[in-house]
Copies of this chain bind each other. A is one copy, B any other.
Amino acid sequence: MQVAILTFDGFNELDSFVAAAILNRLRPYGWTAHITAPTETVTSLNGVIVHRQRPLDFVEEADAVLIGSGVRTRDIAADLSMLARLRPDPTRQLIAAQCSGTLLLAKLGLIGDLPACTDLTNKKWVVEAGVNVIDAPFAAHGNVATAGGCLAAPYLAGWMIARGGSPDLAREALHYVAPVGEKDRFVNHALAVIAGEMADA
């Protein structure tokens, strides 16, 4: 599974790197998550400059696409030429969005009136875009999932692994990153959150 982690200028490091790092735990199984951006480098909301690993057109060839979040998502959501370059396809790809990334999914017509998640700061703009935002960390409908709150990223990554691989593989990746001494607590909770949203997959 090759995963595009869509990352734009102003990105929140948590919203790109938490999921990417969890997905990359599965490199021995052929999974790779790639920081994917429209420009050679992107600068985070805290001034960290990161080199992209794939250009934007990797979105079309990836097996899965995860849209990160950041402080400039509203500008991107208003940029019709940028939106036209993003063509994730839920009929053949797993698609996930974190926090303000849900706004981009909505603008791309991939949310509709299904319940979706975002963070508290971006909620206003996501609701304005017509999304039914729920007070939950994670929601999935078919091949499209959304998460709200930076540290809901493990649910998004775990769902992607459970869907593209297996729940056992998701358990393995989540177990590695979980706090020592709390691994069962963390993993069992995350898998329960994910399983609750996979019933209608």
Contacts and interface: CB of A to CB of B under 8 A. Distances in A.
A152 B179 contact: yes
A180 B154 contact: no
A137 B47 contact: no
Interface string A42-73: 00011111110100000000000000000000
How large, as a class, is the contact surface on chain A?
Answer: 35 or more
Contacts of A177: 14, 149-151
B183 A149 contact: yes
Contacts of A154: 151
A155 B21 CA distance: 19
Interface of A: 12-14, 17-18, 20-21, 24, 27, 33, 35, 45-51, 53, 117-120, 134-138, 147-152, 154-155, 176-183, 186
Given A118-B180, A135-B180, 5 more contacts: A12-B21, A21-B150, A35-B48, A48-B50, A151-B179
Which 7 A-B residue pairings sit nearest by Cβ, starting from the closest?
Answer: A137-B179, A148-B180, A152-B179, A149-B179, A49-B51, A13-B17, A150-B177
